[in-house]
Amino acid sequence: MASPSAREEQKPLVGQEVIQDQPAMSRFEGRRAACAAVLMVEILERAAFFGIVSNLVLYLNSSNFNWGGPQASRATLLFLGASYLLSPIGGWLADAYLGRYWTITFSFLLYLLTACLLPATASQDGQVLLCGDRSVYAIQPSCQRGGIECKQQLPSQYCAPIMYAGLLLLALSISSVKANLTPFGADQVTDLGRDATRRFFNWFYWSINFGAVISLLVVAFIQQNVGFLIGYAIPAVCVSFALLVFLLAAPRFVTKPATGSQVSTMFQLAFKSSCCSHALQKMTTKAKENNFQSEEESGLLSDPRHQPQEPSHENTSNFQALMKILPVLLTLIPYWMVYFQMQSTYYLQGLHLYIPNIFQHSNLNSSVLSASVRNGYTFPDAWLLLANVVFLLILVPLKDRVIDPFLAKRKLLPSPLKRMAVGMIFGFASVIAAGVLETKRLKYVHNNETISQQIGKDDYIAAALPIWWQIPQYLLIGISEIFASIPGLEFAYSEAPRSMQGVIMGLFYFISGVGSLLGSGLLTLLSLPANGWMNCPEDYGNINKCQMDNYFFLLAAIQAVTCVLFVWISIRYEHQQRPNSCLPCIGQEDK
């Protein structure tokens, strides 16, 4: 089989094989095999990712390692943050050296190798082989704290060096796949026009959520109820199948070689455009004046090798494009701060709302019902996150088939930037809904309209408000994803210079990780003892004496201000675009 780079020389990159008068739909038909392969790879990869992260805290906190809760949480947060923050590295590697095809291939190989670490440590023999004898880390006898049995902390974290190194390498491979698989999939249809690219991103996002549904429904259940050995073997199998599909589909792919990275050039241009550039220019001008006569006499001035090195027009254009794209991406940070509340404070709020028994309307007798409650057969709080994902699975095809054609026919929201602004407004509405619900919940608590409910092994004092009241905020954040995240991917891909697409796609994911960390940082700041809204140490593990509604409203205020700023920046961006600007590579050669 010829390598992708070799095949690249045998066929055009950008639609020269497409007959121009051929209908758009029939042209898209010819790319379905390649697109289907990319989407299948994304489904399998996302199923593996969510299968790894969904119960990682529980795995490290379980008898397999006996890490403390804070230790397991920090390791998980480090892994999640690194899986986003390291994305520009994979993008740069593809742009500079390997191209997207080979970067994805090698990243999947590393992904598979490091994913096997988790099931290996779930078996006793593998754990001893990789981590050593656990007897050195024996748990001390149980202690008593306030009449409640507890386990003392281990003298140190068992297998910490192996686990942290493995998780960081795993995050690096995941982030590299994340940064490159998205633009690689778009490469398959980008020469067919902006509409084909938009439709691909719709279905790509659908595939992300489909993989999440599979993982949350199946893999997480197996990990908790069957065992971690099988539960963590499944993600490794998913990665291996993803790699197999990607390799088998190679003959169908439109592949593009590395075009060279402009990152170092961007830094040089940024330095030259700084405050000291004026002084350097004066020194250079003076030196040129002093040496002009001697150079002219010696004939050196006419020698191209001795000409002053100026940035090329392409490098300058790329730098200017980056400087215009970067403010747009940075103004998405508050949106990501709101978005990741879905996996943190929204979940925490749900634990303190009435979660009904799923058998309460059945004909079972009271003894059976009590046994069901004792066995934990209540509506899982995490399933509201699943409801968001399922809603997206329904909404994305609707967007592709109905909403987008409707907007296009009426010339509404024609650009990704306008759709992103609408998505930010829906994100604002979601966190406002969460704040209003939290205000209502606290009124119930202050009026002693509460119930005691057991979730897992813990008791929670919850307001007598059904958890279904959270559905609007989850649906609103789902709608915001449709209008903010999907067009955001499209914008980052279509507006990036050809030689920087991988880096800028990585930057898009990097900024989403920054938003997540800033949201957590703000929550930590508000948990400080100095009358912080989220500081209620006398109610450890409970938020009934906190003021989380103020936290939600603060996020809403930040999002509102940023939304206005985003609209202003996006208007300026669109005005600065050249009249002949178009989706990169549509019917053109690479720059």
501-534 pLDDT tens trace: 777 877 888 888 888 778 777 877 877 776 677 7
Evaluate if residue 327 carries a pLDDT over 80: yes
Q: What's 142's DSSP letter?
A: P
Q: Which of 252, 286, 308 finishes a domain?
A: 252
Phi, psi of 382 (to 5 degrees): -65, -20
Contact 88, 177 (CB under 8 A): no
Q: What is the pLDDT of residue 295?
A: 46
Evaluate if residue 307 carries a pLDDT over 60: no
Residues near 259 by beta carbon (within 8 Å), at least 6 away in sequence = 95, 498, 499, 590, 591
In this prediction, residue 363 has a pLDDT band, given cuts at 50, 70 and 90, of: very low
Q: Is the same domain home to 374 and 248?
A: no
In this prediction, residue 132 has a pLDDT band, given cuts at 50, 70 and 90, of: confident
Q: Which of 145-154, 216-225, 280-289 has the lowest mean pLDDT?
A: 145-154
Q: Is the same domain home to 226 and 348?
A: no
Q: What is the pLDDT of residue 46?
A: 92
**Token digits of residue 194:** 């902006």
User: H or E stretch including 312?
Assistant: none
Q: Is the same domain home to 248 and 336?
A: no
Distances (CA, A) of 378 to 212, 221, 343, 345, 441: 22, 15, 20, 20, 20
Name the pairing type of β-strands 143-145 and 450-455: unpaired
The closest of 550, 378, 343, 402 to 451, measured between CA atoms, is 378
Q: Which of 252, 273, 294 finishes a domain?
A: 252
- To which residue do tokens 């494009």 refer? 321
Q: Is the same domain home to 72 and 210?
A: yes
The closest of 444, 437, 450 to 349, measured between CA atoms, is 437
Q: Is the same domain home to 230 and 336?
A: no
Hey, which bits of 391-495 come out as E strands? 450-455, 458-466
46 domain residue, yes or no: yes
Q: Is the same domain home to 196 and 100?
A: yes
Evaluate if residue 372 carries a pLDDT over 50: no
Helical spans, DSSP H, in 123-227: 124-131, 160-187, 194-214, 220-225
Evaluate if residue 495 carries a pLDDT over 60: yes
Highest mean pLDDT among 279-283, 373-377, 475-479: 475-479
**Count of domains in the chain?**
2
Cα–Cα distance measured from residue 137 to residue 133, given in angstroms and rounded to the nearest whole number: 8
Q: pLDDT of 17-60, one tens digit each?
A: 333 434 444 444 567 888 999 999 999 999 999 888 877 866 77
Question: Which CATH number covers residue 464?
Answer: 1.20.1250.20
Q: What is the pLDDT of residue 135?
A: 60
Q: What percent of the chain has pLDDT over 70?
A: 68
Q: Which of 202, 223, 252 finishes a domain?
A: 252
**Token digits of residue 458:** 């813990």
The closest of 254, 213, 243, 204 to 36, measured between CA atoms, is 204
496 domain residue, yes or no: no
563 domain residue, yes or no: yes
Q: Is the same domain home to 243 and 355?
A: no
266 domain residue, yes or no: no
Chain mean pLDDT for the chain: 74
In this prediction, residue 270 has a pLDDT band, given cuts at 50, 70 and 90, of: low
Cα–Cα distance measured from residue 514 to residue 333, given in angstroms and rounded to the nearest whole number: 7
Mean pLDDT of 265-292: 51
127 domain residue, yes or no: yes
- Per the structure, the complete domain to which residue 37 belongs is given by 4-11+28-133+156-252
Q: What percent of the chain has pLDDT over 90?
A: 18
How much is the pTM? 0.66
Q: Is the same domain home to 352 and 227?
A: no
Residue at 181: amino acid letter = L
Q: pLDDT of 71-114, one tens digit each?
A: 665 677 678 778 888 888 888 888 888 889 999 999 999 999 99
Mean pLDDT of 233-242: 95
CA atoms within 13 A on the CB side of 303: 8
Name the pairing type of β-strands 148-150 and 450-455: unpaired
Q: Which of 127-131, 252-256, 453-457, 475-479 has the lowest mean pLDDT?
A: 453-457
Q: Is the same domain home to 225 and 372?
A: no
Evaluate if residue 296 carries a pLDDT over 70: no
Q: What is the pLDDT of residue 265?
A: 59
Q: Is the same domain home to 345 and 239?
A: no
212 domain residue, yes or no: yes
Q: What is the pLDDT of residue 590?
A: 39
**Secondary structure of residue 220 in the 3-state scheme:** helix
Highest mean pLDDT among 53-62, 194-203, 243-252, 565-574: 243-252
| Burial of 126 (C-beta count, 10 Å sphere; 0-12/13-18/19+) | middle
CA atoms within 13 A on the CB side of 94: 35
CA angle 326–332–334, rounded 5-degree value: 135
DSSP string, 330-372: HTTHHHHHHHGGGGTHHHHHHHTEE--BTTTTSS--HHHHHHH
Cα–Cα distance measured from residue 422 to residue 465, given in angstroms and rounded to the nearest whole number: 31
Q: Is the same domain home to 395 and 536?
A: yes
Cα–Cα distance measured from residue 174 to residue 110, given in angstroms and rounded to the nearest whole number: 9
Q: What is the pLDDT of residue 73?
A: 58
Q: What is the pLDDT of residue 247?
A: 95
Evaluate if residue 554 carries a pLDDT over 80: yes
Helical spans, DSSP H, in 216-301: 220-225, 228-248, 263-272, 277-298
547 domain residue, yes or no: yes
Mean pLDDT of 439-451: 90
Q: What is the pLDDT of residue 365?
A: 42
107 domain residue, yes or no: yes
